[in-house]
Amino acid sequence: MDAAETLDAVREEAGTELDRLGSDKLLIAATGADLTPAAVREAAVTREVGVANGLSGWADDAGAASEAFATAAGAARDRADRIDADPGDPDALADHLQTVASTDARVGAGLVAVPLIADRFYLQVVNFFVNEADEAGADTFRDLRADASDLDPARDALSTLHDEGRDVARDAAVGAIEAAYADYAETLEGMGLDPKPIC
């Protein structure tokens, strides 16, 4: 299984969770139902700071992946600096990243899962600011989405792993997505909302 096949496997295994994380209920969960521009920006900067802190902590002892983690952490900090808000407490994804131990698993959780989740998150943020008639805000978050969802660092890091390592990375990516989804679902259920789409 090469890098591209690994990414495809993650998308397939975690497809349901990713689809639901891209629903219009996502910001309700992320903001505690405070659907204001300030709360949405706070949720976005909180995610980026959590990712940056997680990945920067891995860069010193990750061997061949050190540069990839350092670069991704720096990019997350740059995105955080572009969001006009202060971060809140670490979210579930940031907490999960702190539990990932091996370098191979960190490639999956930090470089594969994080961009896949960010793509869904920022889609809803862009839609929010479009609905607010804030085109400047929407444009800013479109740019952030394009950067945050970039999977090229994941492809590069996966290509340095052996087959067994890519299997570990795949499982860790799925696990990180499942952790983010579990928190999303639990939060919505606590509000009396169903995380599953209504057909």
pLDDT tens for residues 17-62?
A: 999 999 989 999 999 999 999 999 999 999 999 999 999 888 876 5
In whole angstroms, how far apart are CA 110 and each of 32, 52, 146, 184, 199?
A: 25, 10, 17, 19, 33
Please give the DSSP secondary-structure letter assigned to residue 198.
P
Q: What 3-state DSSP class applies to 102?
A: coil
Residue type for 85, please?
A
**151, two tokens:** 């999977």
pLDDT tens for residues 173-195?
A: 999 999 999 999 999 999 999 88
Question: What pLDDT band is residue 198 in, cutting at 50, 70 and 90?
Answer: low
Contact present, 145 and 79 (Cβ < 8 Å): no
**75, two tokens:** 């990019």
pLDDT tens for residues 112-154?
A: 999 999 999 999 999 999 999 999 999 999 999 999 999 999 9
The tokens 């570990």 sit on which residue?
168
pLDDT tens for residues 85-114?
A: 999 999 999 999 999 999 999 999 999 999
Residue 100 and residue 184: Cα distance in Å, rounded? 20
**116, two tokens:** 């896949």
